[in-house]
């Protein structure tokens, strides 16, 4: 045992530890973490430290505070990123994280999450080199036997959605102005989500993660204020589109890939057909395959590109088979709101599609808005944004050109 603290140090050290424990306890209450989740130090050990602080060494005091902080951080990481089995080691309030995922976006999210916790001086990735005996003991926990995958992962999808894609499956509502096809005042709503099914770990020679999901979505467009039609309807359902898809995603470092097979079909609304009896309903329906590559240039800038192949379309609405899609997403000036415990950032997203069906002309979607989430970069998010579209319409109006401006609110990945 080293040199103990003097009696004059007792009060100051007790107050320091109480402040550390108090700030951590408040954060636990905000996060809904119970003491039963705290895996490193119990209330009994805390009481022992405070009652014997005048007889312990400086090193022992540091070890106790590190253990208390380590257990708190480990509990939080296990709650928010449970599928990755991240191991936390704390030394002098400097945090080292082991078992971080190989996906750069997820890793940065975890590092940023820990960095903003109370009493953390710094955070870094762990290496295979073990610096001291205590870390070596933790390493035994780090290399424990693990399953090869996890069912129903919830923290995120491996391939982040293309948020400026018109068929991104999210829950949303938007008010659209001056759509040349649907109407001058249009309400567009969607109901959709991506459901993670299973994630395999350490797949292929690059040791990345592989995940299979299922997507489903419905998009409906209502022409509002159209009461000069023969039936005097104020809200006319023009078209409804349905999508179901099965994406297979792979992520390694700054790269992620998605191979997806999907089906889209479109149906004219009853009100529209009743008000336009001369229109013959067709069946715009297709099955397609696409493959996308995405690169996370920086924490806030992403680029993506992918070709698509329509291998079947309905004979009443035949489609030429090929298209390409590409774009970028930029997030900047993000900040964490500690009072509300959310992360917010402005964003700009641009998506471009060129269809063989349209002689490779441009279909451009641009979005500018603000995004809120619990965790930086991953998980489901709330977005409020302005959107401009220039290109071809959807559904049975797929071959008609349009452009419009809209304000939208959405929730999804």
The correct CATH number of 151-412 out of 3.30.70.1350, 2.40.160.40, 1.10.472.10, 1.10.3720.10 is: 2.40.160.40
The secondary structure of residue 71, as a DSSP letter, is H
Question: How does residue 79 score in pLDDT terms, banded at 50, 70 and 90?
Answer: confident
Best-predicted range by mean pLDDT (3-7, 101-105, 285-289, 334-338): 285-289
Q: Which tens digit of pLDDT belongs to each residue from 275-315?
A: 888 888 888 999 999 999 999 999 899 999 999 999 999 99
pLDDT of residue 107: 87
Residue 20 has pLDDT above 70, yes or no: no
Asked if 293 and 255 count as a contact pair (C-beta separation under 8 A), the reply is: yes
Residue with tokens 């809904």: 32
Residue 9 has pLDDT above 60, yes or no: no
Residue 398 has pLDDT above 60, yes or no: yes
Rounded to the nearest 10 degrees, the angle between the axes of helix 58-80 and helix 43-51 is: 160
User: Residues 356-370: what's their mean pLDDT?
Assistant: 96
Residue 40 has pLDDT above 80, yes or no: no
Residue 4 has pLDDT above 90, yes or no: no
Asked if 289 and 258 count as a contact pair (C-beta separation under 8 A), the reply is: no
> How many angstroms separate the CA atoms of 5 and 7, rounded?
7
Asked if 377 and 109 count as a contact pair (C-beta separation under 8 A), the reply is: yes
pLDDT of residue 113: 87
Question: Which of 286, 304, 308 lies closest to 295, judged by CA?
Answer: 304
Dihedral sign (CA 266, 271, 274, 275):
negative
The domain segmentation of the chain, as residue ranges, is 7-146, 151-412
Which of 252 and 119 is assigned the larger pLDDT? 252
Question: Which of 87, 50, 42, 44 lies closest to 67, judged by CA?
Answer: 42
Mean pLDDT score across all residues of the chain: 82
Instruction: Give 122: exposed, middle or buried? Use CB within 10 Å, 0-12, 13-18, 19+.
Output: exposed
Q: What is the DSSP string of 79-139?
A: HHSGGG--EEEEETTEEEEES--SBHHHHHHHHHHHHTSTT--EEEE--S---SHHHHHHH
User: Residues 68-94: what's their mean pLDDT?
Assistant: 83
Asked if 325 and 358 count as a contact pair (C-beta separation under 8 A), the reply is: no
Distance of CA 189 to the CA centre of its chain: 21
Region of residue 360 (phi > 0: left; psi between -120 and 50: alpha; otherwise: beta): left
Residue 255 has pLDDT above 70, yes or no: yes
The secondary structure of residue 32, as a DSSP letter, is T
User: Residues 153-176: what's their mean pLDDT?
Assistant: 91
Work out the angle at residue 395's Cα, subtended by the Cα atoms of residues 393 and 398, and round it to the nearest 5 degrees: 40
Asked if 94 and 135 count as a contact pair (C-beta separation under 8 A), the reply is: no
Asked if 138 and 303 count as a contact pair (C-beta separation under 8 A), the reply is: no
Question: How does residue 229 score in pLDDT terms, banded at 50, 70 and 90?
Answer: low
């Amino acid at each position: 045992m080293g040199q103990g603290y003097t009696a004059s140090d007792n009060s100051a050290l007790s107050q320091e530890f109480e402040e550390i424990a108090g700030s951590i306890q408040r954060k636990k209450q905000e996060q809904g973490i119970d003491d039963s989740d705290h895996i490193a130090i119990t209330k009994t050990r805390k009481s022992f430290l405070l009652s014997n602080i005048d007889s312990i060494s400086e090193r022992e005091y540091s070890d106790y505070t590190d253990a208390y902080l380590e257990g708190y951080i480990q509990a939080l990481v296990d709650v928010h990123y449970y599928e990755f089995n991240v191991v936390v080691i704390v030394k002098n309030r400097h945090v080292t994280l082991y078992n971080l995922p190989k996906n750069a976006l997820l890793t940065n999210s975890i590092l940023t999450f820990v960095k903003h916790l109370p009493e953390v001086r710094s955070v870094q990735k762990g290496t295979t080199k073990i610096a001291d005996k205590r870390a070596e003991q933790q390493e035994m926990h780090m290399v424990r036997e693990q399953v090869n995958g996890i069912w129903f992962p919830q923290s995120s999808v491996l391939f982040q959605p293309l948020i400026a894609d018109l068929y991104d499956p999210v829950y949303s509502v938007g008010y659209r102005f001056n759509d040349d096809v649907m109407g001058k005042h249009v309400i567009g709503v969607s109901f959709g989500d991506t459901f993670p099914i299973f994630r395999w770990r350490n797949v292929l020679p690059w040791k990345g993660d592989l995940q299979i999901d299922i997507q489903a979505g419905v998009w409906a467009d209502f022409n509002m204020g159209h009461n000069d039609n023969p039936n005097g309807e104020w809200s006319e359902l023009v078209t409804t589109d349905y999508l179901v898809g099965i994406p297979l995603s792979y992520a390694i470092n700054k790269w992620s890939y998605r191979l997806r097979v999907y089906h889209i079909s479109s149906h004219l609304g009853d009100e529209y057909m009743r008000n336009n009896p001369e229109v013959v309903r067709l069946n715009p329906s297709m099955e397609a395959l696409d493959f996308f590559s995405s690169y996370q240039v920086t924490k806030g800038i992403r680029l993506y590109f992918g070709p698509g192949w329509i291998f079947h379309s309905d004979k009443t609405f035949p489609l030429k088979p090929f298209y390409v899609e590409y774009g970028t997403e930029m997030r900047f000036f993000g900040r964490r709101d500690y009072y509300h415990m959310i992360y917010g950032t402005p964003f700009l997203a641009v998506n471009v599609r060129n269809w063989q069906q349209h002689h490779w002309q441009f279909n451009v979607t641009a979005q500018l808005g603000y995004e809120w989430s619990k965790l930086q970069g991953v998980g489901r998010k709330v977005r409020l944004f302005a959107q401009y579209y220039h290109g071809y319409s959807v559904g049975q109006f797929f071959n008609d050109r349009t452009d419009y401006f809209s304000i939208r609110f959405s929730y999804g990945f």
